[in-house]
C-alpha cells in the first residue's frame, strides 16, 4: 500500500500547477468550467475499502482484520462545481464485480 515518488513526479506536479495558472489568467471564467468528482463505497458492516482511504495510526499496519464477504454496501458518487454540489447514492446488495 506504499507508492514511491520519483524525481519526475515533482516536475509533473509543478508543470500542472503552472498550466492551471496560465489557464486561469487567460480565462476569467475558467474555474466556473471545472468540475471535480469522486466515488466511494461504504460497507454497512463498517469495513473500509483500502483503495479509497488512507488510515494513519500507530498500530501494526500488517495486522489482519477479518470482515464479512459480500456485505451490503452503499455506493456514493459526488460532484462539485462552482454552480452546485451533487450527490448520488445507491444501496448495493451484491458486489459490483463477481
| Interval 14-36: pLDDT, tens | 999 999 999 999 999 998 899 99
- Is residue 51 included in any domain, yes or no? yes
- Total of domains in the chain: 1
pLDDT at position 1, please?
Answer: 47
pLDDT at position 5, please?
Answer: 79
- Is residue 1 included in any domain, yes or no? no
- Is residue 77 included in any domain, yes or no? yes
CA–CA distance, 40 with 53 (Å, rounded to integer): 9
Positions in the chain short of pLDDT 70: 1-3, 48-61, 63-68, 92-98
CA–CA distance, 11 with 1 (Å, rounded to integer): 23
pLDDT at position 44, please?
Answer: 78
The whole domain housing 39 covers 34-92
Amino acid at each position: 500500500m506504499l507508492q514511491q515518488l520519483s524525481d519526475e513526479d515533482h516536475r509533473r506536479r509543478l508543470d500542472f500547477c503552472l498550466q492551471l495558472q496560465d489557464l486561469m489568467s487567460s480565462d476569467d471564467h475558467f474555474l466556473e468550467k471545472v468540475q471535480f468528482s469522486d466515488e466511494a463505497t461504504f460497507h454497512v458492516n463498517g469495513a473500509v475499502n483500502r483503495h479509497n482511504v488512507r488510515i494513519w495510526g500507530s498500530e501494526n499496519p500488517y495486522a489482519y482484520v477479518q470482515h464479512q464477504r459480500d456485505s451490503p454496501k452503499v455506493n456514493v458518487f459526488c460532484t462539485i462545481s462552482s454552480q452546485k454540489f451533487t450527490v448520488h447514492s445507491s444501496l448495493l446488495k451484491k458486489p459490483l464485480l463477481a
